[in-house]
């Protein structure tokens, strides 16, 4: 059986809502051809060397999928029959684990849990028939992740070649409440078009995600630097020598940052966490992180200021933050001369309290939060 991705070298990248345009641009820069974008992500075509490079270097995508089959899917039996035909023994040994994630849109199948169960049953039944044994399900940390997508009567079964979500870079061993996701922080820097040409400063750095993503961008450290497992490894035509060459080529490009990157936070424990996280990265010790209330921060000139201020989730629920945001607006106006500021508001209502008119606002999701990214030009 020849799979769809083998037939036309077409894959799918899942990305946060509103980021499809910059995601497509990133894929093109990495060598892919864009076929189409939709609200779920970007469909692209890539030769194997480009595909491997994308897996190791993408900063923006959360998951990458290799489609196996497409089929008519009116109900659960159609899904079971299609999944049963896939030679799962080429992807999975009996001692390995798997998980199924299903997404349905205007489908005759009643819910995603049922779709996942029917796919699981088909896989287990086939392997039991072919090998006399069955693999186990592990929803938390499986060896193989399977993606099922059904829109109306059109079904697709894919291998999740990223494995664990790509936003989990591996450098953040210490965290704070409601951190910004790594992929979203990378997207903010991409939208800001920051490439290390002027200083990067986060005056409320939390666990240091903006600082880490900025450092990786400035030093050309690949986003997959710490990852040891990808679902890609389970494809039957995976080429380990080519993969290792891809890693070596990317790591040979790592360089020292050319400008200063620094962050601060009021909480000394948070500062310590950020230092530990940055310390895991190449050249992480070059990033200055210190304890300071942003109100007491030294003046900043001609820099990119980025931050994800507290918005209720990170403080006491229901706390009035209008004064806090008014003070932050004063900080931007009075201490950030000649700077551009990109501020992510997890609770967009606080945008009105900052006392500055943004150049623009852009909706961006952070986990389940429907936040806003705002750009301010400061003179």
Position 27 confidence tier, pLDDT thresholds 50, 70, 90:
very high
Give DSSP secondary structure letters for 113-143: HHHHHHHHHHHHHHHHHHHS---EE-SSS-S
Position 206 confidence tier, pLDDT thresholds 50, 70, 90:
very high
pLDDT, position 295: 96
Q: Which residue has the tokens 């150049």?
A: 359
Q: CA angle 267-268-271, nearest 5°? A: 90
pLDDT, position 318: 56
Q: Give the pairing of strands 10-14 and 63-72.
A: antiparallel
Answer whether 65's CB lies under 8 Å from 160's CB.
yes
Out of 3-12, 36-45, 115-124, 305-314, pick the least confident: 305-314
pLDDT, the chain, mean:
94
Answer whether 115's CB lies under 8 Å from 79's CB.
yes
Answer whether 291's CB lies under 8 Å from 268's CB.
yes
User: How many residues in the chain?
Assistant: 379
- Please give the Cα distance from 332 to 379 (Å, whole number): 10
Phi, psi of 186 (to 5 degrees): -65, -35
CA distances from 181 to 62, 64, 155, 337 (A): 10, 17, 30, 28
Contacts of 267 (CB under 8 A, 6+ apart): 291
pLDDT mean over 42-50: 98
Q: Which residue has the tokens 């500055």?
A: 356
Residue-wise pLDDT tens digits, 267-326? 999 999 999 999 999 999 999 999 999 999 999 999 999 999 986 544 555 567 889 999
**Homologous superfamily of 182-220+255-377 in CATH?**
Vaccinia Virus protein VP39 (3.40.50.150)
Position 367 confidence tier, pLDDT thresholds 50, 70, 90:
confident
pLDDT mean over 237-263: 97
Answer whether 81's CB lies under 8 Å from 184's CB.
no
pLDDT mean over 50-59: 98
pLDDT mean over 233-247: 98
Give the sign of the dihedral formed by CA 203, CA 345, CA 20, CA 91. positive
CA distances from 69 to 83, 228, 296 (A): 9, 28, 58
Percent of the chain at pLDDT > 90 equals 88
4-160 CATH fold: VC0802-like (3.30.2130)
pTM over 0.85: yes
pLDDT mean over 190-208: 96
- Please give the Cα distance from 324 to 336 (Å, whole number): 17
Domain 4-160 and domain 182-220+255-377, same fold? Reply is: no
Burial of 134 (0-12, 13-18, 19+ CB in 10 A): middle
pLDDT mean over 195-202: 95
pLDDT, position 236: 97
- Please give the Cα distance from 320 to 3 (Å, whole number): 55
Q: Give the pairing of strands 304-307 and 200-202.
A: parallel
- Please give the Cα distance from 330 to 364 (Å, whole number): 25
pLDDT, position 311: 65
Burial of 269 (0-12, 13-18, 19+ CB in 10 A): exposed
pLDDT, position 124: 96
Residue ranges of the domains in the chain? 4-160, 182-220+255-377
Long-range contacts of 170-173 (CB under 8 A, 24+ apart): 170/225, 170/226, 170/227, 170/280, 171/212, 171/226, 171/277, 171/278, 171/280, 171/281, 172/207, 172/208, 172/209, 172/212, 172/277, 173/276, 173/277, 173/280
Three-state secondary structure call for residue 156: strand
Residue-wise pLDDT tens digits, 124-179? 999 999 999 989 999 999 999 999 999 999 999 999 999 999 999 999 987 776 68
pLDDT mean over 212-219: 98
pLDDT, position 335: 97
Q: Which residue has the tokens 């169960």?
A: 117
pLDDT, position 336: 97
Task: Please name the helix (run of DSSP H) or strand (run of DSSP E) that holds residue 185, with its range, or none.
Answer: helix 182-191
Q: Give the pairing of strands 304-307 and 300-301.
A: unpaired
Position 220 confidence tier, pLDDT thresholds 50, 70, 90:
very high
pLDDT, position 370: 84
pLDDT, position 317: 53
């Amino acid at each position: 059986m020849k799979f769809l991705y083998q037939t036309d070298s077409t894959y799918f990248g899942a990305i946060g809502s509103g980021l499809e345009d910059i995601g497509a641009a990133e894929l093109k820069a990495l060598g892919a051809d864009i076929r189409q974008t939709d609200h779920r992500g970007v469909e692209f075509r890539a030769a194997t060397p480009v595909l491997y490079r994308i897996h190791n270097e993408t900063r923006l995508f959360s998951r990458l999928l290799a489609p196996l089959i497409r089929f008519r899917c009116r109900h659960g039996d159609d899904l079971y029959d299609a999944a049963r035909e896939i030679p799962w023994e080429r992807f999975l040994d009996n001692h390995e684990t798997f998980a199924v994630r299903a997404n349905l849109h205007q489908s005759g199948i009643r819910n995603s849990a049922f779709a996942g169960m029917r796919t699981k049953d088909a896989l287990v039944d086939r392997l039991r028939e072919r090998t006399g044994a069955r693999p186990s399900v592990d929803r938390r940390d499986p060896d193989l992740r399977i993606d099922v997508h059904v829109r109306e009567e059109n079904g697709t079964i894919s291998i999740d070649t990223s494995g664990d979500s790509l936003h989990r870079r591996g450098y953040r061993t210490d965290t704070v409440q409601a951190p910004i996701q790594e992929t979203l922080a990378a997207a903010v820097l991409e939208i800001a078009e920051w490439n290390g040409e002027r200083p990067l400063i986060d005056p409320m750095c939390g666990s240091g995600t903006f600082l880490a993503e900025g450092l990786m961008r400035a030093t050309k450290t690949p986003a997959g630097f710490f990852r040891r497992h990808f679902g890609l490894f389970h494809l039957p035509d995976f080429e380990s020598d080519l993969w290792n060459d891809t890693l070596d080529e990317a790591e040979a490009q790592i360089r020292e940052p050319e400008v200063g990157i620094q962050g601060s936070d009021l909480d000394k424990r948070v500062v310590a966490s950020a230092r530990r996280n940055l310390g895991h990265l190449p050249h992480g010790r070059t990033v200055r992180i210190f304890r300071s209330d942003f109100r007491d921060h030294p003046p900043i000139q001609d820099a990119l200021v980025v931050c994800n201020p507290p918005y209720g989730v990170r403080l006491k629920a229901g706390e009035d933050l209008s004064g806090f945001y008014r003070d932050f607006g004063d900080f931007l106006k009075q201490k950030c001369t000649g700077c551009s500021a990109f501020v992510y508001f997890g609770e967009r209502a606080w945008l009105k309290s900052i006392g500055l008119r943004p150049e623009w606002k852009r909706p961006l999701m952070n986990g389940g939060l429907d936040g806003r990214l705002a750009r301010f030009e400061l003179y």
